[in-house]
Amino acid sequence: MLALIVGPLVGEVPWPNIEWGFTTLAFGELFNNWTIFGLGMPPLEMFVIGLPAVISTYIILFGDVIQAKCLLEDAGKKRPDEYIDFDANRSNMIFGARNVLMGIFGPTITLCGPLAAAMQVVVCERFKLGPKTMGSINSGAISYRYGTAVGYFLLPIVSLVKPVLGIALAATLLIQGFVSFRVGVTKSRTVNDLGIAGVMAAVIAVKGAAWGLAAGAILCFFVNLSRSKEHESEIAAELEPSMAPDASK
């Protein structure tokens, strides 16, 4: 709402042009231009080229599951009145089956992840305020999703927020990045883990998934190799006094 007011006033975005009615659903365009039924199966070469991106995506999705678990555990500590039933395996099966169906009938990359971090943060933070604010974490998530789903079909809402979609996306990515970084720091076991993750993130941002994975693998190898050597030297230093001959004898 702030972006809708401040954005046009400073000339960053145009004023919204409110339209009335319902959103036109482009199922024909989706079927013909986005699915295998309209485009046909992609060549085998595309699957091979996409392998680094697939591996990177798996790592990111694995992090999303950990992130969801951390957010829900943190919310549960503030609300002992409700037991939050989170099962990572169950979640994997649910969004895995969903993505198979979406990949065939309606590929939408932005909706294929297991977690909408900004939505999860909003729901969890509001849940922490108590039962009067949100009765259940499940009802909060469902209400949020029902609200957005209805908004998609109402043209006045779509036309109202359309000018600030770029700002909304930037805010969403900022929240996603903040939460991901916070969870990553708390889950890292050593400072070396943080260093490797930081270098990988920078390389992925600049050079892409394949280079980032290669950089991470090389760093993990050399850092762990040096760490094992340091550990062996420490053990040797501890054993030396006990193995040395007793001068008093």
Work out the number of other CB atoms within 10 angstroms of the CB of residue 213: 19
Give the model's pLDDT for residue 243: 47
In sequence order, what are the residues at sequence separation of 6 or more whose Cβ sits closer than 8 angstroms to the Cβ of residue 61? Answer: 113, 114
239 versus 220: the higher-pLDDT residue is: 220
pLDDT tens figures, 170-197: 888 888 778 777 777 777 777 888 888 8
Q: Mean of the pLDDT values across residues 118-138? A: 89
Q: Which two structure tokens, joined as six digits, stand for 116?
A: 């909408």
Q: Tens of pLDDT along 94-106?
A: 888 998 898 888 8
Phi-psi map region of 188: left, alpha, beta (phi>0 left; psi -120 to 50 alpha):
beta
Return d(Cα 186, Cα 142) in angstroms, integer: 29
- The confidence score (pLDDT) of residue 235 equals 46
